[in-house]
Amino acid sequence: MRTKQQNIHLIQRLSEANGVSGFEDEVIEIAFDVLSSMNPTVDFINNLYVNLGSKDSHRPKIWLDAHSDEIGFMIQAINPNGTMQILPIGGWDPSNVIGSRVRVRNRQGKYIPGIVATKPVHFKNEVDTHLGTTFSHLVLDVGASSE
């Protein structure tokens, strides 16, 4: 039986694990480890299955369904000034993303902190203001000065 503190620690680990859609391996690994005594299995698209025991057909079956992925972004392009164009993965409202702290995973698997930015309002023209914020207006800034 897990203690309250162990459960809190597990929830923290799962919440802090990286799991953008298509890259849920870290979340699945944590769940697999916690459920190891129950003989978990994973299929080719990272669905995790656990059979809790009895195959008695007269007993009710319960199915717990949950997502292991989270919404995130994909780098579409790196601009000459070092900022990055992003595309959403999952459901985002672009106007809610401005100013969000993010982490960018590089080719070596390290995470670099960044922030989502947009053109300052005093630089926007009438067309930009009228159209509202779209993902094409957003950039991700990690403090780089060049591509």
DSSP assignment string, 13-69: HHHHS--BTT--HHHHHHHHHHTGGG--EE-TT--EE---S---TTS----------
**Confidence bin at 10 (pLDDT 50/70/90):** very high
How does the average pLDDT of the chain come out, rounded?
87
**Confidence bin at 115 (pLDDT 50/70/90):** very high
Confirm whether 147 is domain-assigned.
Answer: no
Q: Is the pLDDT of residue 7 over 90?
A: yes
User: What is the total count of domains within the chain?
Assistant: 2
**Confidence bin at 51 (pLDDT 50/70/90):** confident
Let me know whether 66 and 128 are in one domain: no
According to the model, what pLDDT value does residue 114 have? 96
Name the nearest CA neighbour of 139 among 82, 96, 93.
82
Confirm whether 63 is domain-assigned.
Answer: yes
Let me know whether 39 and 57 are in one domain: yes
Structural domain of 62: 1-70
Q: Is the pLDDT of residue 117 over 90?
A: yes
According to the model, what pLDDT value does residue 54 have? 67
According to the model, what pLDDT value does residue 12 have? 95
Matching residue, tokens 């005594």: 37
Task: Say if CB 45 and CB 28 are below 8 A apart.
Answer: no
Per the rule left: phi > 0, alpha: psi between -120 and 50, beta: everything else, 77 is beta
Cite the DSSP H helix spans in 35-123.
94-97
The interaxial angle of helices 25-34 and 4-16, nearest 10 deg, is 160
- Cα(76)–Cα(89) distance, integer angstroms: 12
Average pLDDT for 128-145:
84
